[in-house]
Amino acid sequence: MVFLYPKVVKQLNIPFKLGMQYDNCEFDLEVTKDRIEGCDSYIYIGKKFNKFLNYSKYKTELIFNLDILEAVLISFENSNSDYNELSEIVNLKLNCFSETLENNEVKICRFVTKSNEVWILKTTSNLYVLVSNNRYSMNVISTLL
């Protein structure tokens, strides 16, 4: 079982740990369409996570495989300035390997920790932050593009 390191969770103000059991938050979840085949997706409707790094979030999706949390996808209203600021803040807080890809339609910034990844994506219509187990990141990203 892989957990998002507590330091990263604290630095990014995320109350969910990758690897946690579905039972830990089942009463704060609402079923939604599954994003990845073989995994269950839920929208977090609880009250303990309203902001991400002082940004008001639109919604938070938790993705579980066999009742184990594998990914947290946070959606925001889209803004160019939010993407740039958010990327800089995450970079300063995590201080780990990062890479950026940009074209006319998509901006992506990826931060790599020991066994997890943090992605910031800006598409033409949305802004996302994905915290994920390495093996699920690309599956989630492909559903956003």
Query: How many C-beta atoms lie closer than 10 Å to residue 113's C-beta?
Result: 16
The pLDDT tens digits of the residues spanning 54-108 come to 787 889 999 999 999 999 999 987 666 588 888 888 888 888 888 998 888 899 9
Residue 26 falls inside a structural domain: yes
Residue 132 falls inside a structural domain: yes
- The bridge status of strand 116-122 relative to strand 107-112 is antiparallel
The reply to whether the predicted model has a pTM over 0.85 is: yes
37 backbone dihedrals φ, ψ, rounded to 5°? -60, 130
DSSP state of 21: B
Residue 98 falls inside a structural domain: yes
* pLDDT value of residue 6: 46
* pLDDT at 15 exceeding the cut of 60: yes
Q: How many domains does the chain have?
A: 1
Range of the domain at 94: 6-144
* pLDDT value of residue 5: 44
Residue 1 falls inside a structural domain: no
* Cα–Cα distance, 119 to 23 (Å, whole number): 26
* pLDDT value of residue 8: 56
Between the two ends of the chain, the Cα-to-Cα distance in Å is 29
Residue 57 falls inside a structural domain: yes
Percent helix, strand, coil in the chain, to 5, is 25, 40, 35
Residue 35 falls inside a structural domain: yes
CATH number of the domain bearing residue 36: 3.40.1000
